[in-house]
Amino acid sequence: MTVPDSSKSLEAAILAPVGEGFRFGQRVQGLREQIARTALPGLDKVGNQTSPEPVEALLVTHLENTHYLTGFTGSNALVVVSSDRAVFVTDGRYGVQSAAEVPGFERVVLSPGTDMGEATAEITRRLGLKTIGYEKAHLTVAAFEALRKNFPETTTLVGKINLVETLRRIKDADEIMAMRAAVVVADACFEFIRLTARVGMTERELAWRMEVFMRQAQGAERLSFDSIVGSGPNSALIHGRPTDRTIGESGGPEFLLCDFGAQLGGYCSDLTRTFVLGGPPTEPMRTLYEAVRASQQLALDAIRPGVLGKDVDAVARESLTRAGFGESFAHGLGHGLGRVVHDGPALSQKSDVVLEAGMILTVEPGAYLEGFGGVRIEDDVLVTESGCEVLTKSDKELLVI
């Protein structure tokens, strides 16, 4: 129901409590369980017990998280989730859209001129909430101060981190299906690169052709991220952007590193392969490539529920160190993948996350030698009950094109 202006009561806009049978009910219930855990003591980074900071509700303002909880695809929304209520708030531009996309939620649609912060404070007052969590990692100091001024001094706002993100780590059946579809687009783009990339083409031209292919021929909604295309010495730039360098301009064999992905159904894929153009690979090129490939396979073999993210990273890192390339592996082994390309959890030297079935991760060891070139091999992986399933199917042989 649309609220005429912020001076009038929002009580009429708060509908009946949400039932648990609606489409996103499991996600909301999962968040309620996370909120309940805020009443329990935790552990800091060195293992000392920390005091609990209980909250009665969480104010979800980060759009990726509101979409995850509700399915809403607009650009302005928040959700108040308590132990028995889930109230969705948006502005008047999205009245019709939100009615279609979030039918299971209590819904407040604000009329023009209504301040969302004021409306949110009024909603929480009507719900009798005194201690409210907010998404600390996603609010600037200025945004928090603007929010805080709307609440009375009797209301306590408590910064919380990763309550929704922890839920997002484990993918449900619908999410896994969407990500399988996004992976198909990435695998198709690998074949496109194999058939299209040629000596004499610029990095920028190849990146543009890849984007057109994924969008036009494969139906991608957007790219997961700006594609990385690096040839020759540029392949050693871990996150290098495509340039006007001509592929093969060295006159001999050189690496071509392509890191790309597509978003389909709101979920991302992320694939990296390294090719050789300009002639057969030299022995040093083969040695570098096979070292990276071997380290990735060892990491894939180590993935299973119960393993720490940092332990999987260590397997790949130790393999590259034995091969003489440990110092040139200058990034983490991988990251979670989902609605955004860098989702949680991480596979890195500092990751204490325990892997669980249903997580989808990238596994992407690399080695980069300045002036010579770099190799990275990346796959998208679903953690299963007994190990992992590699979702990406693109060839990992060293291909000369």
Length of the chain: 401
Question: How far is the first Cα of the chain from the last one, in angstroms, to the nearest whole number?
Answer: 60
Two tokens, residue 35: 């909120």
For 341-386, the DSSP string reads SSEEEEESTT--PBP-TT-EEEE--EEEETTTEEEE-BEEEEE-SS
pLDDT at 3: 37
Query: Cβ(94)–Cβ(76) under 8 Å?
Result: yes
For 104-155, the DSSP string reads TSEEEEEPTT--HHHHHHHHHHHTT--EEEEEGGG--HHHHHHHHTTS-TTS
pLDDT at 1: 32
Tell me the longest C-alpha to C-alpha distance in the chain: 76
pLDDT at 324: 98
- Residue 387 identity (one-letter amino acid): G
pLDDT at 113: 86
Query: Cβ(199)–Cβ(245) under 8 Å?
Result: no
Q: Chunk the chain into consecutive blocks of 10 residues (it has 401) and report each block's average pLDDT, rounded to whole numbers.
A: 36 40 80 90 52 89 95 96 95 94 92 91 95 94 92 94 94 96 98 98 99 97 98 98 98 98 97 98 99 99 98 99 98 97 95 97 99 98 98 98 93
Two tokens, residue 251: 């006159």
Task: Give the H or E element holding residue 270.
Answer: none
Please name each of the domains of the chain with its CATH number. Answer: 2-167 (3.40.350.10), 173-390 (3.90.230.10)
CA atoms 116, 169, 330, 371: torsion sign: negative
What is d(CA 247, CA 201) in angstroms, rounded to the nearest whole number? 6
